[in-house]
Amino acid sequence: MNPQEMNDREKFFDDKCQYKKPPLGLKPKYIHDEQRLAEVGGAIYRYLNERYPLKKEWIEEYNELINRRNGK
């Protein structure tokens, strides 16, 4: 086994030859965007419900997320 193969093997197996899970990566962007859309929508709803003025940034972000989800 050459050094590269040894290094590759160490990434996936520990000293007892048991499979090692890779470290946790990133949440997929589409899941992040859907969760963020729900958060922004919830904040907008709460502000409207209490008759507070909406923040321009929230509306812009909400529209961007909706357009991205709809492929526009």
Secondary structure (3-state) at 12? helix
- For the cut 70, the answer to whether the pLDDT of residue 64 exceeds it is yes
Q: What are phi and psi of 2, to 5 degrees?
A: -80, 170
The predicted model scores a pTM of 0.67
Residue 64 CA to residue 69 CA, distance in Å, equals: 9
Residue 61 CA to residue 40 CA, distance in Å, equals: 8
Residues facing residue 13 across a β-bridge: 19
| Contact status, residue 70 vs residue 34, Cβ threshold 8 Å | no
pLDDT at 19: 76
> pLDDT tens digit string along 27-50?
999 999 999 999 999 999 999 999
